[in-house]
Amino acid sequence: MADQVRTAERARGGRRRAAGAVLAALLCAAGCSAPADEAPDTTARDIRATLDRRAAAVLHHDAAGYAAVVAPDATALRSAQRREIARLADVPLGSWSYELTDLSAHGSDRATADVRLGYRIKGYDGAPVSVDRIVELARDPGDGRWYVTADRAADGGVRQLWEQGDIEVVRGAHSLVLGVGRSRDELDKIAATADEAVPAVSAAWPERWAGRVVVLVPDSVTEMGELLGSPAANYRGIAAVTTGETGGSGKAPADRVIVNPEAYAQLGDFGQRVVLTHETTHVATRKRTSAATPTWLSEGFADWAAYRDQERTAEEIAPELADAVRAGDGPAALPEDEDFAFAGEAGRLAKAYEGGWLACELIAGHWGEAKLFAFYRAVGAHRGRDGAVEEALHEVLGTTPQDFTARWRVYLRDRLG
């Protein structure tokens, strides 16, 4: 029966296509929305040509060309676009492209395009960073070309550093620091600290990685929140965070270490070095970190790498947990992911980080550093969170979650009690 139905449908196909063309024309006259590959070929093609001209202007630092794709009567946008490309002038871009992902036509001379901007910093990014944008366009009846009338972040998207102000660029030996609203001396110092962090991470992580890091320094914690798409209040006491997708595909977009200049400035040289080494460790281990990796392991390992060669006592590194252990209120279990929430209670967050660090130190000290690396890789390679730690404990360390937790609790008392 199914074959007979399909045969009948094919027989009626010619008549239906003719009627469908008329219906589509009537609908689009009033405004239509269709994916890019279903939109009228000429409209999508011409809009792609406009976006390609815009991308070429960025790569050639052509301010006039960048503004030329903006509608002539959109004077405010033209001025904004000139400022924007000027801010990008010193950023070493290796690529800049626009992918048209969806297109909504509004009559014959207006359109809204969903666009994925992909850009790569030359010498630092192995793959482009992707940013979703919404671009409004209008077609000029005189020359028939499409021009940009508006450009904004897609819903749920984040602002980019060049949208926040003029970018100061500092090139270090292993780092690239991009700052807005911060002094050159401050950015130079951050680059020097990042340059120390990179070899320290290479010494702590046995696998090859890029060996370089990009650091963004916005003007304030408010702008930091804009770059991350979260309320600034979530990062008030957080000195830095690392962005980037987890996974072992090797195709993850580049990481960015984003510094909170207000919290970072409150740290001494030692604290700043630890922070950037910790965040750079996340960059190095990104391919081995996945949804199966619990936060206590990813954050604990980053802290372990940061403190590995530092002359500090366990009590100095883990003061919150030391107080709890001495008061007889030590944790009964390893930290949960929610314990690491930035918006949570500060003491709880500190104890979570400290507990994760001591768990990784326990593994490195009792089983050896090679086993710690193998354990990290095994957990991240698991098909999902369920059973990931349990299987890795059994296969790599020859223990169980219950035994490991018991050892960890004893270790806390020995190190902090």
Assess whether pLDDT exceeds 60 at residue 387: yes
DSSP for 259-315 reads E-HHHHHTS-HHHHHHHHHHHHHHHHHGGG--TTS-HHHHHHHHHHHHHTT----HH
CATH of the domain at 231: 3.30.2010.30
- pTM of the full predicted structure? 0.86
pLDDT by residue (tens digit) across 130-156?
A: 899 999 999 999 999 999 999 999 998
User: Same domain for 338 and 395?
Assistant: yes
CB 216 within 8 A of CB 223: no
CATH of the domain at 126: 3.10.450.50
User: Same domain for 199 and 275?
Assistant: yes
Assess whether pLDDT exceeds 80 at residue 35: no
CB 9 within 8 A of CB 80: no
Q: How many domains does the chain have?
A: 3
CA gap 333, 354 in Å, rounded:
13
User: Same domain for 350 and 271?
Assistant: no
Residue 151, beta-bridge partner list: 135
CB 180 within 8 A of CB 217: yes
CA atoms within 13 A on the CB side of 80: 14
> Which helix (H) or strand (E) segment is 193 a member of?
helix 184-204
User: Same domain for 206 and 294?
Assistant: no
User: Same domain for 279 and 301?
Assistant: no
Q: Long-range contact list for 324-330, CB < 8 A, 24+ apart? A: 324/351, 325/412, 325/413, 325/416, 325/417, 326/416, 326/417, 330/409, 330/412, 330/413
> Which helix (H) or strand (E) segment is 361 a member of?
helix 346-366
pLDDT by residue (tens digit) across 247-302?
A: 434 344 568 999 999 999 999 999 999 999 999 999 999 999 999 999 999 999 99
Collapsed DSSP state (helix, strand, coil) of residue 99? strand
User: Same domain for 307 and 273?
Assistant: no
User: Same domain for 330 and 411?
Assistant: yes
Residue 119, beta-bridge partner list: 96, 129
Ranges 20-29, 48-57, 68-77: which has the least confidence: 20-29
User: Same domain for 78 and 103?
Assistant: yes
Q: Which residue has the higher pLDDT, 6 or 348?
A: 348
For residue 40, what pLDDT is reported? Answer: 57
CA gap 365, 397 in Å, rounded:
12
Of 242, 259, 287, which marks where a domain is finished? 287
User: Same domain for 100 and 223?
Assistant: no
Assess whether pLDDT exceeds 90 at residue 224: yes
Domain that includes residue 213, residue range: 163-287
Q: Cβ neighbours of residue 322 under 8 Å, at least 6 residues apart? A: 314, 315, 416
pLDDT by residue (tens digit) across 354-370?
A: 999 999 999 999 999 99
Of 157, 185, 207, which marks where a domain is finished? 157
208-228 mean pLDDT? 96
